[in-house]
């Protein structure tokens, strides 16, 4: 596939295609989009490629959570085995990298790029494609594109398992504090929660559903609203462990005890939650394995091969600790659930 052939397919001149490939201005939006689509469809790459640098680049929305550290650890394990370093880019909370990011990546020329919960623009995708820089998406925010390999977790099954655990203890007023629905993982966890409730014949009360940022304060604020309801929940399932710690804070503020008065289940199994008070029951998401799997996909693509599967989902598991119990009955103490990791 050549520049001239791309130009012929797009119905434009070769210099126009060259402008798009090199990121120059002066091309109409619709024309640029048509050319970029053809570049990706036909796998065009520039013939004058320079050797890549010895790095794998990982792009994060933010680096302010232990969640990111676990992913980095997995990527680094694979990179070290190939004598590569790991470079990090933070998008300061944005879903898409800035306009100049792809130009900077072309300058660094990494072996490959891992985009974590990010959405790249058509222009950014075209730049990586034409430069022959492999891209793998980890925990995609939207529906993963088939042509872009992606890695995630079985989020739907995790939501199902967490809710089934609470139902098995006798809870029926089960709330869910979820993350923003622009994230595919959050939508899947909510769908799993709904499926478990539906299978048990328990209606989902709209007032028990909350959406909040995936941070401690988000969980605290949403839980405070839930616990202030005339008929508050007896259990809360959260979109991640940080929100669950926020629920702990709201419960203490409301003079409620976990799990005697309120059961809590998180999602992620970040290292520190085993030392929370009480130790948190949660859904283990294999973040380190997800990072390693994404890095292995990058190395496969960089070798010129293509992976057998473009979408890989790793299993989640319920880790029972001490934050869940049967709902309190009048005059009877709560029965605390204690156990070990169980399949999810």
Tens of pLDDT, residues 68-110: 999 999 999 999 999 999 999 888 778 788 877 877 888 888 9
Tell whether the model's pLDDT for residue 332 goes beyond 70.
no
Distance CA 220, CA 228 (A): 12
Asked if residue 206 belongs to a domain, the reply is yes
pLDDT at 6: 84
- 257 and 172 within one domain: yes
* Whole-structure pTM value: 0.80
Residues 264 and 254 in one domain: yes
Radius of gyration of the chain, Cα coordinates, nearest whole angstrom: 23
Q: Would 48 be classed as within a structural domain?
A: no
Bridge partners for 341 per DSSP: 319
**Which tens digit of pLDDT belongs to each residue from 110-146?**
999 999 988 888 778 878 887 888 999 998 776 666 5
Alpha carbons 219 and 247: distance in angstroms, whole number: 5
| Residue 272 shares a structural domain with residue 162 | yes
* Residue 249 contacts residue 215 (beta carbons within 8 Å): no
pLDDT reading at 343 higher than 50: no
Using the 3D structure, point to which of 285, 305, 327 is the last residue of a domain: 285
Q: Are residues 121 and 109 in the same domain?
A: yes
Give the pLDDT of residue 335: 52
Residues 43 and 72: beta-carbon distance below 8 Å: no
Q: For residue 315, what pLDDT is reported?
A: 97
| Cα distance between residue 123 and residue 127, in whole Å | 6
- Any domain includes 50: no
Q: Does 344 reside within a domain?
A: no
Do 5 and 114 sit in the same domain of this protein?
A: no
Pair 236, 118 in one domain: no
Beta strands in 182-245, from DSSP E residues, in sequence order: 209-211, 235-238
Give yes or no: residues 246 and 203 share one domain: yes
Same domain, 166 and 277: yes
Domain match, 111 and 18 both: no
pLDDT confidence of residue 48: 54
305 and 204 fall within a common domain: no
Any idea what the Cα angle at residue 18 is, between residues 305 and 39, rounded to 5°? 35
CATH number at residue 235: 3.40.50.2300
Full residue range of the structural domain in which residue 74 is found: 55-153+289-313
| pLDDT tens column, 237-284 | 999 999 999 999 999 999 999 999 999 999 999 999 999 999 999 999
148 and 159 fall within a common domain: no
């Amino acid at each position: 596939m050549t520049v001239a052939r791309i130009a012929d397919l797009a119905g434009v001149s070769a210099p126009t295609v060259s402008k798009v490939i090199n990121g120059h201005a002066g091309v109409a939006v619709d024309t640029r989009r048509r050319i970029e689509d053809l570049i990706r469809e036909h796998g065009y790459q520039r013939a004058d490629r320079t050797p890549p640098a010895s790095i794998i680049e990982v792009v994060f929305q933010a680096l302010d959570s232990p969640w990111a550290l676990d992913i980095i650890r997995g990527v680094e394990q694979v990179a070290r085995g190939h004598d590569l370093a790991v470079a990090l880019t933070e998008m300061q909370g944005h879903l898409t990298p800035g306009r100049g990011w792809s130009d900077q990546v072309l300058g660094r020329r990494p072996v490959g790029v891992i985009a974590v919960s990010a959405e790249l623009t058509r222009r950014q995708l075209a730049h990586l494609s034409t430069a022959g820089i492999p891209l793998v998406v980890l925990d995609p925010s939207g529906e993963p594109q088939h042509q872009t390999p992606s890695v995630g977790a079985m989020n739907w099954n995790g939501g199902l398992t967490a809710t089934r655990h609470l139902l098995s203890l006798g809870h029926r007023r089960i709330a869910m504090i979820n993350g923003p629905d622009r994230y595919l993982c959050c939508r899947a966890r909510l769908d799993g929660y709904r499926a478990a409730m539906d299978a048990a014949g328990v209606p989902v009360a709209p007032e028990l559903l909350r959406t909040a940022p995936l941070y401690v304060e988000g969980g605290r604020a949403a839980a405070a609203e839930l616990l202030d309801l005339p008929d508050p929940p007896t259990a809360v399932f959260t979109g991640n462990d940080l929100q669950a710690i926020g629920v702990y804070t709201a419960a203490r503020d409301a003079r409620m005890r976990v799990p005697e008065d309120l059961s809590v289940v998180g999602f992620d199994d970040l290292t520190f939650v085993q030392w929370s008070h009480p130790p948190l029951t949660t859904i283990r998401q294999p973040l380190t394995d997800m990072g390693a799997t994404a890095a292995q996909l990058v190395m496969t693509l960089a070798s010129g091969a293509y992976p057998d599967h473009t979408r890989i989902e790793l299993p989640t598991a319920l880790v029972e600790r001490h934050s869940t119990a049967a709902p309190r009955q009048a005059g009877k103490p709560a029965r605390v659930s204690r156990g070990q990791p169980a399949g999810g």
